[in-house]
Chain A
Amino acid sequence: MNRRKFLHGGAAASLATVFIPKSVKAQPKLTLRMMNMETDPNTIEMLKKASTDYEAKTGIRFEIDTTQPAGAFTKLATSIKAGRPYDVANILFIGDVLILARDGGLMPLTPLIDKIGRDDFGPRILFPMDGQIWWYPYDYNFANLFYRKDLFAQQGLKEPRSYDEFLKATQACVDDPKKTGTPDRYGICLPIGSGPAANWLTFAFLWADGFKLFDDQWRVLIDSPPMKAKLVRYLTFFGELYKTMPPGMAQIGFAENLTLFASDKVAMAAYSGRMIHHLERFAPQLTDKFGMMAYPSSDGSRTGVNHGYDGWVVPKGPYSQEGYKFLEWFLTERLIDFYETLILHYQPTRWSIYDNPRWKAHPLVKKYAWSVDIMKGFLRNTVIGSIDTEGPAPDTRPGKVFEGFVFPEMVQNFVLKKLPADRCVELAAEKARKLTT
């Protein structure tokens, strides 16, 4: 008798706990969901506080789901396609945003942007499509190159301006004193795996070099003679560069670029402002030894950077209005707090922020004023490009090329499968066409 009761009781209890709500404090009048892909603990902390404050003010609670950036698009798209969209979300890469917008999954944010004024926003960041603006971009996140000033000085190098100079510089920095074939320090690391990291960090050389993915009629230009030449030149250059890279470039994501540079395993790495924060925390001895530069073109005539950009979107759903209202509140009241959690990485998208007294007074902005100048300079002096913003107008097509990892695969075919450069370009053109027609 006792045993049966115990068994039944246990079963009932365990099943019941599944249904009992977790919190016993006062229930909010509405619980909505936010998807967040900023994984910095300070930022997450700040978002949680903002959510708590908003709940105190309006009784609406936003539960925050933090996801890894590589899975963000899938997660957001799945939530929309499963009929349970997130009520507000931040996401990286405009290409993904436009794909979702085209599918009817997002609420336009044009009124919100116009209230602030489009002039306040920097270049190439709003990407209006079909007459609407679909996101509030909050940072530029340019992928640029970090290099060790001290090692360059040792080798008598100056900032390289062309592919050749760049290659020579990385080769000079490879440190293999005992000639073991496995250097203590490599020249550079650049991801090549099929993921957003490679899309972001590895291809800015192409924008500097004047590469264009589509023509005005949206025809794929990859295998057209002038573009093919640029790509072959790039692949050849990259192949040599690859020899100065540490092992595992096909496996690394975002984080390893930071750790390799900080642990003195590479003399050059690509990233955005987060690198500086990372050095401050993990390698303070390097904070006065690094320099920043944009990516060089093949002939040295121009430089380029890759867009990194993150923005807030409001998916279309039963509570879009609430998501919109939360976003308005957040951007008016808490934007600077948000920036302050990783101030050198979230490069402001609005001119007025650079003049904001609180923003300017931040100790890191003051300490690294030179680097802030360089970052601001990117807005004016370099070719800003990215795979998912190619083409004559904002559209979903380059986003498909982006999500299909056409460019990382092209590089993988060249350095891993060792196919001839021509063939790699042909395969890339084929795939790009297949994805965009």
Chain B
Amino acid sequence: MLGGRSRRWLPVLFLAPGALLTLVCVLLPVLYAVQLSFYRLESFIGRPAWVGVGNYAQLFQEARFWNALANGFVYSLATIVLQVALGIVIALLLNEVFPGRALLQGLTVIPYVLPTVVVALTWRWLLDGSHGLISQWARALIGANVGWFDSGGMAMAVVVLVSVWMWTPFVSTAFLAALKTIPGELYEAARVDGANAWQRFAYVVIPSVRPVLIVIVLLRGIWMFNKFDIVWLLTHGGPLEATEHLPILSYVLTFSLFDIGGGAAVATISFLFLAGIVSLYLWLFPMEEA
């Protein structure tokens, strides 16, 4: 309707503000970050010094960079797997009919709407070494103190579990919606064919929700790889960089060590990696679907 001859300028007008914003506030910063990464810069207003790929070479030689990359993968993978597993379980539960279901559905979404800061604060309070409720329960249960943030493994586990707590509702809600679109007849047909609950799940549910599953896994994977706030607020990347992933490394380089070129290089690497995955995703699943 808008493609008519006399109204050719209209779509342009409508698109202009958003396009402008995207250009200035998204495209430009990305290009600027890439440009910054080729310079050595120690202050935000200082004069940059060209080092070409020097920042990158330095990064690739540093164990700290590879550690951050690995941590990013571990965090991303672990949170995805757990979110999907838990999300499916909760969705299946909410698909059943029982009194109070609507209330439960509301409750399950609460973690998702909370600001990251509130989540981080509340969990740090719950896990406070001496006074936290969960610490005290753990002490009573095991008879020994649990150092939640004392070892790299434990710290990563805590960060993963809190992230899962926060974002599973997204998965479970999407899944629930997908489950509701499965026609009842499919279940019936399977039941008539003698399939038990497990088989019904495997052969009716899974295939029907497969497209949603793929979307969710990819999207959440990308997002989790780049979550800054929750990890930063829980552990600052510690102990000893055990939970430091690329976003945190970028932040530390820029604002603690004032190696702005280095921070930009890490950000650029992250961006290229993500752009690659997004391109792959859009190639496999083009935007216009019937």
Contact = CB atoms under 8 A, between A and B. Distances in A.
B239 A193 contact: yes
A77 B42 CA distance: 11
A193 B238 CA distance: 9
A256 B128 CA distance: 10
Nearest to B147: A247
B103 to A, nearest CB: 34
B106 interface: no
Contacts of A265: 130
A182 B147 contact: no
Contacts of A80: 43
A22 interface: no
Nearest to B43: A81
Interface stretch (B77-85, B137-145, B200-208): B137-145
A250 B129 CA distance: 10
Given A82-B44, A83-B44, A182-B139, A248 B240 contact: no
Interface residues of chain B: helix, strand, loop or mixed (majority): loop
A251 B150 CA distance: 8
B145 A247 contact: yes
A82 B45 contact: yes
Given A74-B256, A81-B43, A416-B151, A246 B130 contact: yes
Nearest to A435: B257
Interface string A57-91: 00000000000000000100110111100000000
A81 B238 CA distance: 26
B135 A81 contact: no
Contact of B240 (A82, A246, A403, A409): A409
Contacts of B135: 247-248
Contacts of A82: 43-45
Interface in B122-173: 128-130, 135, 139, 143-151
Contacts of A180: 143
A181 interface: yes
Given A81-B43, A246-B129, A246-B130, A412 B240 contact: yes
Contacts of A249: 129, 150
B46 interface: yes
A194 B238 contact: yes
B255 A246 contact: no
Contacts of B239: 193-194, 250, 412, 416
A138 B135 CA distance: 40
Contacts of A248: 128-130, 135, 147-150
Interface in A390-419: 403, 409, 412-413, 416-417
A416 B147 CA distance: 10
A44 interface: no
Given A78-B255, A81-B258, A247 B44 contact: no
A160 to B, nearest CB: 24
Contact of A251 (B42, B143, B144, B149): B149
Contacts of B43: 80-82, 103
Contacts of A252: 129
B140 to A, nearest CB: 9
Contacts of A194: 236, 238-240
Which of B135, B148, B240 has the largest count of A CB atoms less than 10 A from its CB? B240
Interface string B153-197: 000000000000000000000000000000000000000000000
A74 B255 contact: yes
A78 B135 CA distance: 37
A251 B45 CA distance: 35
A249 B130 CA distance: 10
Given A83-B44, A250-B238, A181 B129 contact: no
Given A83-B45, A416-B239, A246 B256 contact: no
B146 A181 contact: no
Contact of A413 (B130, B149, B240): B240
B123 to A, nearest CB: 12
A185 to B, nearest CB: 11
Nearest to B46: A81
Contacts of B151: 416
B288 to A, nearest CB: 31
A260 interface: yes
A250 B150 contact: yes
Contacts of B46: 81
B238 A247 contact: no
Interface string A229-251: 00000000000000000111111
A416 B150 contact: yes
Q: Which of A74, A80, A194 has the most CB of B within 10 A?
A: A194
Contacts of A181: 143-144
Contacts of A77: 258
A194 B151 CA distance: 14
B143 A182 contact: yes
B71 to A, nearest CB: 16
Contacts of A78: 44, 255
Given A81-B43, A193-B239, A246-B145, A260 B130 contact: yes
B132 to A, nearest CB: 9
A74 to B, nearest CB: 6
Interface in B21-53: 42-46
Contacts of B148: 248, 251
Given A77-B258, A247-B135, A265-B130, A417 B45 contact: no
Contacts of B128: 248
A247 B144 CA distance: 10
A31 to B, nearest CB: 21
A103 B43 CA distance: 10
Nearest to A183: B145
Contact of A417 (B146, B238, B240): B240
26 contacts: A78-B44, A78-B255, A81-B43, A81-B45, A81-B46, A82-B44, A180-B143, A182-B139, A182-B145, A193-B238, A194-B236, A246-B130, A246-B145, A247-B146, A247-B147, A248-B147, A248-B148, A249-B129, A250-B149, A256-B130, A265-B130, A403-B256, A412-B240, A416-B151, A416-B240, A417-B240
Interface of A: 74, 77-78, 80-83, 103, 180-182, 193-194, 246-252, 256, 260, 265, 403, 409, 412-413, 416-417
List 5 tightest A-B contacts by C-beta distance, closest first.
A248-B129, A81-B43, A247-B145, A247-B129, A83-B45
